Amino acid sequence: MRLFARTLAFLAALALGAQQVAAQDVSILRDAETEKLLQDMVNPLVAAAGMPKGSVDVVVLNDPSLNAMVAGGQRIYVNSGLINAADNANQVQGVLAHELGHIVGGHSIAIGEEYGRATKITILSLLLGVAAAAAGAGDAAMAAMSLGQQVAYRSLLTYSRGQEATADAAGATFLSKAGISGRGSLEFFGKIQNLEFRYGYPHDDDAAYASTHPMSGDRIATLREDYQKDPAWDTKTDPRLEQRFQRVKAKLYGYLAKPADTLRHYPEYMTGEPATYARVYAYHKDAKVADAVREADALLAMEPNDPYFLEIKGQVLLESGRPDEALAPLRRATELTGNDPLIASTFGHALVATEDKAHLDEAETVLRAAVARDRENPFAWYELGMVYGARGDLPRARLASAEQQIMSGSPAEALRSANAAQAGLEKGSPDWIRAQDISMQARAQLERDKHRK
């Protein structure tokens, strides 16, 4: 499991408490097992929506809040806190169905257009206020500006609530067509409602009018009848999918929580896969290598050919300074997953970390395959640069660095690396062209950054 910092440009709805926020840095959690699970959970819903398989990605954000969102394109962002709060896979599928409703409805684009209309109302009110002030009517000027802002504010809130209701209805349709029960959707709205009551969120008409979302109680009441009469209402989640979800939930908890909290939540007497999985990370984070390896071996005793159990054992050994021992489990995990790019990049890192030049050819092959399938993997690019550097191929080492730097939000460094790579590469070659592309991208980013200041 890896944590990558990236800048995500979310469509903003001013400072109105909408889910999307202005461009900000958030941490993205990359994990092969988690991404595969979420993709398998969303794919039936995508098919039910009439979209091609694999056309919607699910990305996990390292954020403890109970939230999910779409922010342009066909990606659903799910906070780690939401996965931690969910009791079962069906609840998460209810959330995914709702967010898919936003994608199908084009709501990210539409909210931007509505924001533009609201801004025009505000600007018009300011102009009217200025005109009134110039005419000596100070009170009228303030009233005009205040009224315009209120109209813009209410307009956006009403539009946002309408979108949420539409997404709720679309999500219910997708769940039904996919043969997935809506129980989880209602259960999750119940969780949100409980949080609203716990933190004293008002539930009167004024609160509903001033909210970006319909009240959770109203949403439950609206959806319950449709869900309960749906043929899929009593359909059980596939046991294997539920098992995978409980594993991933525990894995994320162990990775993100303090070791003491993990061991309190998943004590030693709990010997199932989820608890054992979580404890591997707890012991590993506490530098208790023997205990972490013991728990990883316990997982492998349950399922010897599970690629993710092999991966975690290899990761523990690698990050504990034992890369030679990590090679066998990581190589096998890479094979079993058909060269999954995230697992392959960890394997490539282990090959490089042995500092044995005999492993460089295999490392290059593994890492080039990883970046070919997942170019948005700065870790793999960094390791590929290490391979080229060890061979003395500095132009390609600098090109790999430029790839890593541009996606890590370092345009100045990417520009220098790309220019250095171009100087040493054959003009017109594919690598030279790619270095030129990165150079242009970095310049454009630097120009945008300059204008923001």
Helix axes 89-104, 107-134, angle to 10 degrees: 60
Q: End-to-end CA distance of the chain, in Å?
A: 35
Give the Cα separation of 369 and 341 in Å (integer): 7
Structure tokens at 323: 């890369």
Q: Residue 393 — φ and ψ, nearest 5°?
A: -90, 75
Q: What is the largest CA-CA distance in the chain?
A: 84
DSSP secondary structure of 181-212: -SHHHHHHHHHHHHHHHHTT---SHHHHHT-S
Give the Cα separation of 370 and 375 in Å (integer): 8
Give the Cα separation of 247 and 273 in Å (integer): 7
Q: Residue 29 — φ and ψ, nearest 5°?
A: -90, 120
DSSP state of 10: P
The verdict on pTM exceeding 0.85 is no
Contact criterion met (CB below 8 Å) for 230 and 94: no
Q: Write down the pLDDT at residue 15.
A: 25
Give the Cα separation of 47 and 69 in Å (integer): 20
Cα angle: 241, vertex 245, 247; to 5 degrees: 120
Structure tokens at 275: 């608890």
DSSP state of 426: P
Burial per residue of 185-221, b for 16 or more beta-carbon CB atoms within 10 angstroms, e otherwise: bbbbbebbbeebeeeeeebeeeebeebbbbbbbbbbe
Alpha carbon of residue 282 to chain centroid: 23
Q: Residues near 284 by Cβ (< 8 Å), separated by ≥ 6?
A: 292, 315, 316, 319, 320
Alpha carbon of residue 402 to chain centroid: 24
Beta strand pairing call for 75-79 and 57-61: parallel
CB atoms within 10 A of CB 372: 11
Q: % helix / strand / coil in the chain, to the nearest 5?
A: 70, 5, 25
Q: Write down the pLDDT at residue 151.
A: 41
The single residue listed with the structure tokens 């967010």 is: 99
Each residue's pLDDT tens digit in the chain (453 positions)? 766 544 333 222 222 222 333 334 568 899 999 999 999 999 999 999 999 988 999 999 999 988 888 876 788 999 999 999 999 999 999 999 999 988 887 754 443 443 344 344 344 444 444 444 444 444 444 444 444 444 444 443 343 445 677 888 898 999 999 999 999 998 988 887 777 666 555 444 444 333 444 556 677 777 888 888 999 999 999 999 999 999 999 999 999 999 999 999 999 999 999 999 999 999 999 999 999 999 999 999 999 999 999 999 999 999 999 999 999 999 999 999 999 999 999 999 999 999 999 999 999 999 999 999 998 889 999 999 999 999 999 999 999 999 999 988 899 999 999 999 999 999 999 999 999 999 999 999 999 888 776
Give the Cα separation of 415 and 208 in Å (integer): 49
Q: Is the dihedral of CA 29, 70, 211, 165 positive or negative?
A: negative
Q: Write down the pLDDT at residue 97.
A: 93
Which helix (H) or strand (E) is 9 found in, with range?
none
Q: Is 288 helix (H, G, I), strand (E, B) or coil?
A: coil
Q: Write down the pLDDT at residue 118.
A: 39
Contact criterion met (CB below 8 Å) for 253 and 84: yes
